[in-house]
A and B are shown apart, each in its own frame.
Chain A
Amino acid sequence: GEQVEQLPSILRVQERSSASINCTYENSASNYFPWYKQEPGENPKLIIDIRSNMERKQIQGLIVLLDKKAKRFSLHITDTQPADSAMYFCAAITGGADRLTFGKGTQLIIQP
């Protein structure tokens, strides 16, 4: 099936610095790219998403960038806080097929 590659698998950053997670996808027909945050023992929760007709989206301290030519999208968390420590997943939906394919996840650790 379609692959979504996500890097890094583990990311340690100092509190109040920025964190960046990168994903690449294969299918140029993908048109929707959500990011999920998952706390231990909980279900994944949508934190931000971007559609293929956009290049950048920001919700407070979360920024998503989409480069369709390179088939790459990224999540940037600014001014990180301890509450940002969690597992983060990128995903891509291919239009028509409705298949939601996930990356393998990034464990984000915010160090004091």
Chain B
Amino acid sequence: DMKVTQMPRYLIKRMGENVLLECGQDMSHETMYWYRQDPGLGLQLIYISYDVDSNSEGDIPKGYRVSRKKREHFSLILDSAKTNQTSVYFCASRDRADTEVFFGKGTRLTVV
């Protein structure tokens, strides 16, 4: 059963704290994505990773960084979280040879 797993599902952090969101996939997909979703704005691409240590900025990378040291894991890091980073974060993955993009169940992050 193909799966993208996100941890944690819910997170509350104080402003200025560091945040680590983890994502794993069991399909050996080369490409992985991090999006954030806010009401009325749809899904906005933060970072895209083409494989291990091959990452590229998306449309809204400011305030975020990523790490991909293994093909099956892709982490999103917020150094010194801000209240405007309160959002739902989705990780996704895709096989280059195929087309469908698979989404994780999301992490709801609240920064207070």
Contact = CB atoms under 8 A, between A and B. Distances in A.
Q: Choose among A9, A89, A98, A99 the residue with the greatest number of B CB atoms under 10 Å from its CB.
A: A98
B58 A1 contact: yes
Q: Choose among B94, B101, B104 the residue with the greatest number of A CB atoms under 10 Å from its CB.
A: B101
B101 A104 contact: no
Question: What is the interface of chain B mostly: helix, strand, loop, or mixed?
Answer: strand
A32 B48 contact: no
Given A43-B104, A99-B58, A104-B41, A34 B96 contact: no
- Size class of A's contact patch? 20 to 34
A43 B105 contact: yes
Contacts of A104: 40-42
Given A98-B31, A98-B94, A100-B33, A42 B41 contact: no
A46 B101 contact: yes
Given A43-B90, A43-B105, A43-B106, A89 B42 contact: yes
B61 to A, nearest CB: 10
Interface in B59-106: 59, 90, 92, 94, 96, 99-101, 103-106
A98 B43 contact: no
B99 A101 contact: no
Interface of B: 31, 33, 35, 40-45, 48, 50, 58-59, 90, 92, 94, 96, 99-101, 103-106
Interface of A: 1, 6, 9, 32, 34, 42-46, 49, 51, 89, 93, 98-105
